Amino acid sequence: MRYLKEVFSARELLANLTLREIRGKYKRTIFGQLWSLANPLALMLIYTFVFAFIFRVRPDKGDPSGLDVFALWLLCGLLPWTFFANVVNMGLASLVTNSGLIQKVYFTRIVLPLSMVASAAYNWIFEMGVLIIALIIVGAWVLPWIPLVILIMLLLAIFAAGVALMLSIANVYFRDTQYFLTIILQLWMYLTPIIYPSSLVVAQSARVGGLFGTSITVSDIYHLNPMQHFVEVFRNLLYDNRFPDLGEWLVCTGWAVGSIVIGTIVFRRNERNLAETL
């Protein structure tokens, strides 16, 4: 509890560090903030070309929205994923890149990874805003779902923050973590139904049946991935325009709470040794 108070009292510092990140990022660029849209747009184009045009991946029509636009369907999963990946990548590096500061000034260290979460969230909100406008233009009935979209965004941000806290500490002790993470994130992305619908996995899993004579199916293992549940909720709200299964909400909340609790405990335990270890 006392720790939470300490973090709360550092909120101004958190805001300032976030501003430093946001303002510093696109300084001296002509397009400025628009650059944050460039990466998802490029990914959207290439994935749409490869998976919708060449491989002919056909996700189900939005139910009940009736939407049938692969690019938008893709973005509903891709934007949450890129946010998650950005938070984890930036959060992981936050302690090592600010080692000079940590060794010279005392402040609540946790604001360093958290400011990365906040600055990534800033870009993400911008991207999601553009996506929602695009969805409205093609006729999706998104507006009533926006409060729930904000709620799931919050849950994903908390989940990502917890992971970033753990990994930022791990990276201080083992610099391998950053290289390891690049690979993990790549695998993780393909294990998440971003560029294909998870119904394909379920169908294929039913065909294969239980693995190695047990009743565990591929789909059971597949559903252990927390990001799969997050993406499902995002798609339900944004693309299908319906209320996601209550079970999905519970799973997402569980992962978010578990991740932030463990992340904070790990961070707190190691916080004092940072200046020496870095």
- Pick out residues in 28-67 that bind other proteins (CB under 8 A): 28
Q: Are 218 and 204 in contact (CB under 8 A)?
A: yes
Q: Does 199 bind other proteins (CB under 8 A)?
A: no
Report the alpha-carbon angle 214-215-220, nearest 5.
120
Q: Which residues have CB under 8 Å from 111's CB, separation 6+? A: 7, 10, 13, 14, 17
Note if the bond before 64 is cis, omega within 30 degrees.
yes
Closer residue to other proteins in complex, CB, 141/180: 180
Size of the site for other proteins (CB under 8 A): 27
Quote the radius of gyration of the chain (alpha carbons, Å).
20
Q: Does 174 bind other proteins (CB under 8 A)?
A: yes
Closer residue to other proteins in complex, CB, 101/154: 101
Residue 126, CB-side half-sphere exposure with 13 Å CA sphere: 15
Closer residue to other proteins in complex, CB, 12/187: 12
Binding mask 83-102 for other proteins (x = CB under 8 A): -----------------xxx
How near is the Cβ of 174 to other proteins at its closest, in Å? Answer: 5
Q: Choose one: 18-26, 37-45, 144-152, 259-267; the region binding other proteins (CB under 8 A).
A: 18-26
Question: How many Cβ atoms sit within 10 Å of the Cβ of residue 20?
Answer: 12
Closer residue to other proteins in complex, CB, 53/173: 173
Q: Are 21 and 116 in contact (CB under 8 A)?
A: yes
Q: What residues make contact with other proteins under the rule CB under 8 A?
A: 12-13, 16-17, 19-20, 23-24, 27-28, 100-107, 173-177, 180, 272, 275-276
